[in-house]
């Protein structure tokens, strides 16, 4: 089974100056019923479906094109008005276009955005999948990072697209009149994803190639490479084995944290604010963690206020049995495993590593967010999917600061919310989890 299928499919078988994009690493591109965008809102305290959202349903489904796979990988909430942006792709495997949907705070489509709330952007000569999104604080323009794929050469790149608040491309101020810029990453797969973060007015994107490289680019506000970042605007870091789609965040020092996977282990890297690998971190700037004895993936990243690093993904992946477990790893600021993150009694992993088996089938985490309003300690929200036998459902979990599941969240004091299928497909996933101020927990993906 190739890297794309294992990492992307639902079923193994088939701070003022630093604004982060919310992204995830899962799409739907296989055979079977086509999928649609799905956006769910849960109540902040208990995690129950919010009946004030989407006309009482708590979840809204947007089937952009009923004949194609429509899936959201990334989401964010506009700080100015609490509107929800979900971004991903619409199309067939390796042939999709960037798709973006904007919802009003109550879950209804924002008809003043694009066409009826929907924006589709086709880039010339390449397929594209949006996998990260952010809103510029100064002007509310929308930045989307998408992986491009050229089938004839099996090469990938990262496109940064900037949209005006109405959903039109910003052709006046970005990308030399195109509204987007594209940079080649290297050999890759149609299902790869990328990461994006705002560093003041600069834009950082990260991607990975199948020839074992992690690549960081920094652009200025007009979409030009920033030559003061790394050598000439780009930093390339080779890994010992395969590099997988990364996630990005910042520590309070301004250091850049990047996480990725190698098909066997997860890796955490730290760079200076200007893109130089920090050799005081781990071994020559890299920390490698093996969870269990089998394949594990690092899919999402958050940094706590104390600079501890939280990485979500899945571990114990066994493609022959169709099983995997949600993994959550917390590191101290220096990259050592956090001995206070112990998880439940009987946790089979060393302190710092927690795995969760929901149903004996496959359980995957694709996004992580920090939730602090409930208590002085930070709760950790994780979203992804769970299932077996060709069926998967959205899953949302909340952990306490020690790595145990929060029994005040979800039904039956479980700490887990599993969402029944409501869309056109028999597979679903919660690919991005974000907080909507004073309203609830937003989970975006597909169903």
pLDDT on residue 17 = 33
Beta bridge partners of residue 445, listed in sequence order: 38, 430
pLDDT at 186 > cutoff 80: yes
pLDDT tens-digit map of 104-159: 999 999 999 999 999 999 999 899 999 999 999 999 999 999 999 988 898 899 99
Classify residue 158 as left (phi > 0), alpha (psi -120 to 50) or beta: beta
pLDDT at 41 > cutoff 80: yes
Q: How far apart are CA 447 and CA 445, in angstroms?
A: 7
Confidence band, pLDDT 50/70/90 cuts, at residue 190:
confident
pLDDT at 27 > cutoff 80: no
pLDDT on residue 14 = 27
E strands of 118-193, at which residues? 118-121, 127-135, 142-150, 155-163, 180-187
pLDDT at 267 > cutoff 60: yes
Percent of the chain with pLDDT over 90: 77
Q: How far apart are CA 418 and CA 321, in angstroms?
A: 22
Confidence band, pLDDT 50/70/90 cuts, at residue 86:
very high
pLDDT on residue 93 = 62
Q: How far apart are CA 396 and CA 414, in angstroms?
A: 11
Stated as kind and residue range, the H or E segment containing 6 is helix 3-8
What are the Cα distances from residue 443, in Å, to 49, 424, 432?
Answer: 11, 18, 6
**Within 10 A of 213 (CB to CB), how many other CB atoms are there?**
16
Residue keyed to tokens 């114990």: 316
Confidence band, pLDDT 50/70/90 cuts, at residue 187:
confident
pLDDT tens-digit map of 277-310: 999 999 999 999 999 877 888 999 999 999 999 9
Tally the domains of the chain. 1
Average pLDDT score, the chain: 90
Contact indicator for 405, 413 with CB cutoff of 8 Å: no
DSSP β-ladder status, 440-446 and 429-436: antiparallel
Q: How far apart are CA 444 and CA 398, in angstroms?
A: 16
Which of 46-50, 107-111, 247-251, 372-376 bottoms out in mean pLDDT, i.e. has the lowest? 372-376
CATH of the domain at 335: 2.130.10.10
pLDDT on residue 192 = 84
Buried b (16+ CB within 10 A) or exposed e, 169-201: bbeeebbeebbbbbbbbbebbbbbbbbbbbbee
What are the Cα distances from residue 14, in Å, to 6, 29, 120, 398?
Answer: 9, 10, 27, 29
What are the Cα distances from residue 205, in Å, to 87, 94, 215?
Answer: 16, 21, 8
Confidence band, pLDDT 50/70/90 cuts, at residue 377:
low
Contact indicator for 405, 356 with CB cutoff of 8 Å: yes
The full DSSP string for 320-364 is TTTEEEEEEEEE-TTSSB-TT---STT--S-TTEEEE-SSSSEEE
The residue count for the chain: 447
Contact indicator for 69, 90 with CB cutoff of 8 Å: yes
pLDDT on residue 7 = 39
Mean pLDDT score, 82-92: 94
pLDDT on residue 2 = 31
Confidence band, pLDDT 50/70/90 cuts, at residue 356:
very high
Contact indicator for 300, 430 with CB cutoff of 8 Å: no
Provide the domain limits for residue 153.
3-14+18-446
92 compared with 94, residue with greater pLDDT: 92
Contact indicator for 381, 395 with CB cutoff of 8 Å: no
pLDDT at 39 > cutoff 70: yes
Residue keyed to tokens 């924006």: 119
Q: How far apart are CA 324 and CA 283, in angstroms?
A: 28
């Amino acid at each position: 089974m190739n890297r794309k299928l294992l990492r992307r499919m639902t079923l193994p078988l088939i701070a003022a100056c630093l604004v982060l994009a919310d992204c995830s690493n899962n799409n739907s591109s296989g055979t079977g019923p086509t999928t649609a965008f799905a956006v769910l809102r849960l109540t902040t305290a208990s995690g129950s479906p919010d009946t004030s959202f989407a006309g009482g349903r708590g979840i809204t489904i947007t089937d952009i094109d009923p004949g194609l796979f429509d899936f959201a990988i990334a989401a964010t909430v506009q700080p100015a008005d609490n509107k929800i942006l979900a971004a991903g792709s619409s199309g067939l495997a390796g042939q999709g276009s960037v798709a973006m949907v904007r919802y009003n705070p109550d879950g209804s489509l924002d008809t003043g955005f694009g066409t009826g709330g929907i924006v589709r952007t086709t880039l010339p000569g390449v397929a594209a999948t949006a996998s990260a999104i952010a809103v510029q604080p100064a002007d509310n323009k929308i930045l989307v990072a998408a992986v491009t794929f050229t089938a004839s050469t099996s090469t990938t790149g990262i496109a940064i697209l900037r949209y005006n608040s109405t959903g039109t491309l910003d052709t006046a101020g970005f990308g030399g009149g195109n509204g987007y810029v594209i940079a080649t990453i290297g050999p890759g797969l149609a299902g790869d994803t990328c990461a994006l973060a705002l560093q003041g007015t600069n834009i950082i994107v990260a991607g990975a190639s199948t020839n074992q490289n992690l690549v960081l680019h920094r652009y200025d506000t007009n979409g030009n490479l920033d030559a003061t970042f790394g050598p000439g605007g780009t930093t390339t870091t080779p890994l010992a084995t395969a590099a997988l789609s990364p996630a990005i965040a910042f520590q309070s020092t301004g250091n850049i944290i990047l996480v990725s996977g190698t098909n066997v282990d997860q890796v955490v890297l730290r760079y200076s604010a200007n893109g130089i690998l920090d050799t005081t971190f781990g071994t020559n700037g890299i920390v490698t963690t093996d969870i269990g004895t089998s394949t594990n993936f690092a899919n999402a990243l958050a940094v706590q206020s104390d600079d501890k690093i939280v990485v979500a993904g899945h571990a114990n992946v066994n493609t022959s049995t169709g099983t995997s477990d949600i993994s959550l790893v917390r590191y101290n600021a220096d990259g050592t495993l956090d001995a206070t993150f112990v998880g439940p009694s009987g946790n089979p992993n060393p302190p710092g590593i927690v795995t969760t088996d929901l149903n004996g089938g496959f359980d995957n985490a694709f996004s992580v967010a920090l939730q602090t309003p409930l208590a002085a300690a930070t709760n950790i929200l994780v979203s992804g999917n769970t299932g077996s036998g060709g069926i998967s459902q959205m899953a949302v979990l909340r952990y306490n600061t020690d790595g145990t599941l929060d029994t005040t969240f979800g039904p039956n004091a479980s700490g887990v919310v599993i969402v029944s299928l409501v869309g056109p497909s028999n597979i679903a996933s919660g690919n991005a989890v974000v907080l909507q101020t004073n309203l609830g927990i937003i989970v975006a993906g597909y169903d």
